[in-house]
Amino acid sequence: MIERGARTRPTTRTPQRSDVRLVSLVVPVYDEQDAIPPFLDRIAQVFATLGPGYRYEVIFVNDGSRDATEFVIRSRMQTDNHVSLVNLSRNFGKEAALSAGLDHAEGDACIPIDVDLQDPPELIPEMLEHWDRGAKVVNARRASRGSDTWIKRSSAAGFYRVFNVLADQSIPANVGDFRLLDRQVVEVLRGMGERVRFNKALFNWVGFETAEVTFERPERRTGNSAWSYWRLWNFALDGIFSSSTTPLRVWTYVGGTLAVLSMLYAFVIFLRTMIVGIDVPGYASTLILILLFGGLNLFAIGILGEYIARIYSEVRERPLYVLRSVHKAGGQG
């Protein structure tokens, strides 16, 4: 099914119909009414500079917005035939919304992008250049995280460090969802059945020739980030537990080491009792050991719980998202 380099691309493009390639921008939106018009304007500007070799479509996935997001998108659809809208039945979270968007995108390449212009659309031409030269994935790496708070920066750095120690397949730091994915890669992603989806790691797991562009991440233009710290923490846990079984297996070694140490200690106590007799005081050390092992046991059980909860959500096989309606560019739907 997957043939490397099977498609040949002419270097000088005389735009015949078959040669005009479709680029799908996949945009999850949650309460973003003010961000949509400036976003569409910037995208139109960027593609206007690209010449006739590319067409584009913008697929908004309305992730259960409570404001006028749907209304704003649908009124833009009256005049802008690049825009499609996929409505989810409620808020499913950005990862599920992205999957919904990729499922509805028809492009030869798909680019997940944030609507708040923190992923600068001006990077798209550079990404397309790499794609033309044969890259199947083009990552966009943030050169710095200057626009983030100190807490967000250091927790992100900590996350990537822990993740890359634990996971079988490391992910590049500071590369978000903003990247170009060739159709071939999108098809592999769509075939991956898992419910707990940490897209960053999935994108990377697929492999293929990967290029990279870098950018400065600007501040959010309108509205607020919908990610609370608690949500980010859970997102990080999802990422680690869905990409690594190390936390599950490490307890064999922790338990084994502690068992060996306990036996040595038991031997020491035995010898002492034989030589100096029974020593009644020992309250503190007993208590410390009980607390230590009690804590370790609970912690290890908690880790088991994290995996079991995820296994549970996988075996239920609920759909990743529920569609309310789909409105294709051009009116029907």
The footprint of Mg ion (CB under 5 A) covers 114, 116, 118, 220
Residues in the chain: 333
- Closest distance to ligand UDP from the beta carbon of 153 (Å): 12
116 binds ligand UDP (CB under 6 A): yes
29 binds, among ligand UDP, Mg ion, none (CB under 5 to 8 A by kind): ligand UDP
- Residue 176's nearest CA partner among 217, 220, 127, 134 is 217
Contact status: 25 vs ligand UDP (CB under 6 A): no
Taking the complex as a whole, the smallest distance from the CB of residue 163 to ligand UDP amounts, in Å, to 16
Among 33, 56, 73, 93, binds ligand UDP (CB under 6 A): 93
Interface residue with ligand UDP among 63, 70, 182, 238 (CB under 6 A) is 63
Q: Is the distance from CB of 239 to CB of 201 less than 8 angstroms?
A: yes
How many whole angstroms separate alpha carbon 292 and alpha carbon 316? 36
Q: Are 110 and 24 in contact (CB under 8 A)?
A: yes
Q: How far is the CB of 178 from Mg ion (least distance, A)?
A: 10
Distance (Å, whole) CA 69 – CA 318: 27
**142: number of Cβ within 10 Å:** 20
- Report residue 28 as tokens: 């999850």
Between the alpha carbon of residue 155 and those of residues 25, 28, 122, 317, the distances in Å are 29, 24, 28, 32
118 sits near ligand UDP (criterion: CB under 6 A): yes
Asked if 115 interacts with ligand UDP (CB under 6 A), we say: yes
Q: Round to whole Å and give the CA distance between 296 and 312.
A: 24
- Residue 182 as a binder of ligand UDP (CB under 6 A): the answer is no
Residue in 24, 26, 32, 202 binding ligand UDP, rule: CB under 6 A: 32
Q: Which does 313 bind (CB under 5 to 8 A by kind): Mg ion, ligand UDP, none?
A: none
Residues making contact with ligand UDP (CB under 6 A): 28-30, 32, 63, 91, 93-94, 97, 114-116, 118, 220, 225-227
